[in-house]
Amino acid sequence: MITTRNWILVAILLLLGAVPAAAAYFEQPFYLDLLRRVMIFAIAAVSLNLILGYGGMVSFGHAAYLGIGGYAVGILAHHGIHSGWLQWGLAIGASALVALAIGAISVRTSGIYFIMITLAFTQMLYYLGISIEEYGGDDGMRVPVRSQFSGLVDLNDGTQFYFLVLGILAASLFLVHRLVNSRFGMVLQAIRSNEARTRAIGFSPYPYRLAAFVISGAMCGLAGALLVNHTAYLTPEFMNWTRSGELMFMVILGGIATSAGPLLGAAVLLLLEDVLQGWSLLPREAVRDHWQLYLGIFLVLVVLFARRGLAGLLPGKNE
């Protein structure tokens, strides 16, 4: 059974599929670039939504996996290994492993402790990134050669790269959709809803929460591999805590525990950022220098008046 809102989500993905042709027709390649960035962050937000939205685990350190995915690609490329299979495999594997280690400790906690522990681990990785001069340290390093896939896809071709990102986004959305409706997903949501009850009927929350945490980390690691290919530049800023905050914003703005939410949140946040920075209708100084202020006001309004986020405003039933 597919809900109205999921049909809307499918329609949005189809529209995104038409963007390369439109961008070529209007000779606006910039939009291809912008939307590719939006979709990469959407994948990260989809992964965060799995644990934050459905699992009730407010991870304030999700940028860690963007970083690990990015460094997996960057480090291998730095040493002359450009195979995307290896790079992306390492990105996913290393992210899963780190998520397993961080999760093993943090998912035992909840609420504010969980937030602080996930933040602390990510800060550790951030400073680790800064301290390793070999891989650019504080300044970061260029990753000039993009991941290579035995000639199957060429990431240097903007359109091909775009469609690959779109495909991975669609696959992530579908995967999370299946996950949250499976037995596993029902347990995950049950734990979020009422942990004492869930224990009383016979579920031990820990392994289920940990598994979700690892899946989410691995998926976000893949987003990190995409992001470093997108920017062709690797810096510890991938893992900055403000990045973790942005991902949380995307999920909350779009609507937690909704299927379309992370994509809508990523799109609105990044597009608005872009528009506000380049807006020429209002006095430039006032807007350009303070665009975050306007963004902030908008976010406050959404949180106040759209309890289920932007996805909650779509026609159709609340999930």
Partner 1 sequence: MNKLLLETRELRKTFGALVATDGVDFDVREGETHAVIGPNGAGKTTFIKQISGELRPDSGEIRFAGDDITALPAPQRSHKGLARSFQITSIYREFSALENVALAVQAHAGHSFRFWRAAREDPALTGPAIRILEEIGLDRRKDVLAANLSHGEQRQLEIAMALATRPRLLLLDEPVAGMGTDESQRMIELLATLKGEKTIVLVEHDMDAVFTLADRISVLVYGRIIATGTPVEIRANQEVRAAYLGEDS
Q: Which of 145, 163, 142 is nearest to 153 (CA)?
A: 163
Pairwise CA distance, residues 161 & 182, whole Å: 31
CB of 37 to partner 1, least distance (A): 30
Residues 242-247: contacts with CB under 8 Å, at least 24 apart: 243/63, 243/66, 244/59, 244/60, 244/61, 244/62, 244/63, 244/64, 244/119, 244/122, 245/60, 246/41, 247/41, 247/44, 247/45, 247/48, 247/62, 247/63
Pairwise CA distance, residues 167 & 100, whole Å: 26
* CB closer to partner 1, 216 vs 229: 216
Helix (H, G, I), strand (E, B) or coil at 194: coil
CB of 92 to partner 1, least distance (A): 16
Q: Which of 243, 261, 260 is nearest to 303 (CA)?
A: 261
* CB closer to partner 1, 78 vs 308: 308
* CB closer to partner 1, 100 vs 179: 179
* CB closer to partner 1, 32 vs 188: 188
- The total of other beta-carbon atoms located within 10 Å of residue 4's CB is 11
In the block, residue with structure tokens 């059974």: 1
* CB closer to partner 1, 187 vs 226: 187
CB of 196 to partner 1, least distance (A): 6
CB of 258 to partner 1, least distance (A): 13
Q: Which of 59, 75, 64, 150 is nearest to 113 (CA)?
A: 59
Burial of 307 (0-12, 13-18, 19+ CB in 10 A): exposed
* CB closer to partner 1, 201 vs 304: 201
The per-residue DSSP string of 261-319 comes to HHHHHHHHHHHHHHHHHH--SS-HHHHHTTHHHHHHHHHHHHHHH-TTTGGGGSSS---
DSSP 201: T
* CB closer to partner 1, 54 vs 238: 54
CB of 103 to partner 1, least distance (A): 15
CB of 195 to partner 1, least distance (A): 10
- Contact residues toward partner 1 (CB under 8 A) are 178-179, 181-187, 189-190, 193-194, 196-204, 207-208, 211
CB of 170 to partner 1, least distance (A): 17
* CB closer to partner 1, 184 vs 279: 184
CB of 183 to partner 1, least distance (A): 4
